[in-house]
Amino acid sequence: MRKRILLVCDVKGWGGWERAENIKRHLSDEFDFDMMDSSEFKAWEEQSDSSFISVEEINFILNKTRARFTKKMIPLPELLNFKKNKRTKDRPYDLYYLMFHTMLCAQDIKRVRYAGGKMFSVVTGAPVVKEVFDNERYARNRHMAFKTLASESVGMGANNILSLNELAGLYDGPKYYIPRGVDPNFWQNNPDSWNSLYTDDGPKNFTALFCGKKNSGKGLNSVITPACQSDGLGPDRVNLLINQRNYTDALTKEQMRDWYNQGHVYLVASETDGTPNPALEAAACGRPIISNYIGNMPEFIKDGWNGFLVGRDPKQYRLKLKYLKENPDKCREMGENARKTVLENWTWEHSMEYERKALRDIFQLGDRKMNGNRNAPVM
């Protein structure tokens, strides 16, 4: 019998939703999928007959046992019996796949476990310790919820090798490598735009690209802007094109593709990150990447061939920007190599083979030969 899987994302149209759409598109030959965003899942949990106890049910039990329990105490025997009865009811899904590990911090999502639902999530940030395990970003109750739910999950994935290796010392369950993918048929270089960026004398208004949320951890103010401004208005100065938005005011995919085609190079300088997704899109559009050692950038970038890996220091970024500005042929060549890297190993087709392997392993459905060149470690 085919396994039913619910894919739970943060918001529709954002990164997790796109990944869920590709999972459903590529793996429906073997599994049945439904998709919900986090708000839909919360409402579904509250309406489900087998969900955790609703407010009305708690009030009923409190009123029933008021003589034996104070208002501040939880009637544990009644609650435990209620949970036991709930467990006996069939859940409609064999697995609850949370697109982001931070969803395990949400109090609404954790209720699925009381009915024996299987949970699986993917770590989308590195370093993992800074994200949740050492409680740097979250209040204590959310941090503890994450640790509890992670321990009860059937496994956890990681979308980069850094996170996967870090999880080895933090999480005892099965761990899977599930890298992000990109659609190179959509994200691609516009030859007319590329040619307009150059003159016979070299690059025209040499432009670096930055895309990210309004978050100090992305390094825009501390690293990228100082690197592009150099020491003044001299020949080393680089034009910086910034796209600082979130899902509420995001550009359309078509607008983003045009935006990538307005620059010569894409910059990453995050403190914590998993992929990052815009870097793969920019690479598919034929732009070289300059990045620090974060997320999957050490896996993607072959230093000096399709981009540069540098320390998180404006001076190091400045040197690489200066090199690309002064060597336009090399900049174009590295951009072409960045797209080749995407085509060889970072498409959605490659990514979905890792997704398939993880799901087959969770349900013990046997193994499947990988199509990609990279290994898919299970720890």
| Euclidean distance between CA atoms 210 and 205, whole angstroms | 16
| Euclidean distance between CA atoms 161 and 345, whole angstroms | 15
pLDDT above 90 as % of the chain = 51
Confidence class for position 248, pLDDT limits 50, 70, 90: confident
CA atoms within 13 Å, Cβ hemisphere of 177: 18
CATH code: domain 4-50+89-181+348-362 is 3.40.50.2000
- Considering the domain 191-345, what is its CATH architecture? 3-Layer(aba) Sandwich (3.40)
Q: Give the CA dihedral 177, 180, 185, 190, nearest 10 degrees.
A: -130
**Where do the structural domains in the chain lie, given as residue ranges?**
4-50+89-181+348-362, 191-345
Q: Could you tell me the pTM of the whole model?
A: 0.84
Specify the higher pLDDT residue, 361 or 214: 361
Q: Which amino acid is at 336?
A: E
Question: Among the listed ranges 34-38, 95-99, 199-203, which one has the minimum average pLDDT value?
Answer: 199-203
- Beta carbons of 315 and 263 less than 8 angstroms apart: no
The phi and psi torsions of 89 (rounded to 5 degrees) equal -85, 140
Question: Among the listed ranges 71-75, 77-81, 130-134, which one has the minimum average pLDDT value?
Answer: 71-75
pLDDT of residue 42 exceeding 70, the answer is yes
Of 180, 349, 351, which is closest to residue 281 (Cα–Cα)?
A: 180
- Beta carbons of 227 and 317 less than 8 angstroms apart: yes
> Considering just the CA atoms, what is the radius of gyration of the chain in Å?
24
Q: Is 378 helix (H, G, I), strand (E, B) or coil?
A: strand
* Tokens 């979905």 belong to residue: 352
Model pLDDT, residue 114: 61
Of 234, 227, 219, which is closest to residue 318 (Cα–Cα)?
A: 227
Model pLDDT, residue 167: 86
Question: Among the listed ranges 47-56, 104-113, 199-208, 302-311, which one has the minimum average pLDDT value?
Answer: 47-56
Model pLDDT, residue 82: 56
3-state helix, strand, coil in the chain (%, to 5): 45, 15, 40
Model pLDDT, residue 366: 61
Residues 6+ apart with CB under 8 A from 22: 181, 348, 351, 352
**pLDDT tens digits for range 256-284:** 999 999 999 999 999 989 999 999 999 99
Residues 6+ apart with CB under 8 A from 10: 16, 17, 37, 38, 99, 100, 103
Q: Which amino acid is at 171?
A: Y
**pLDDT tens digits for range 102-126:** 777 765 565 676 666 789 999 888 8
pLDDT of residue 51 exceeding 90, the answer is no
Question: Among the listed ranges 71-85, 193-207, 272-286, which one has the minimum average pLDDT value?
Answer: 71-85
Give the residue-averaged pLDDT of 178-187.
97
Q: Are both 4-50+89-181+348-362 and 191-345 of the same fold?
A: yes
Choose from 93-107, 108-122, 131-145, 208-222 the range with maximum mean pLDDT: 208-222
Say which DSSP state 220 is in: I
Model pLDDT, residue 228: 92
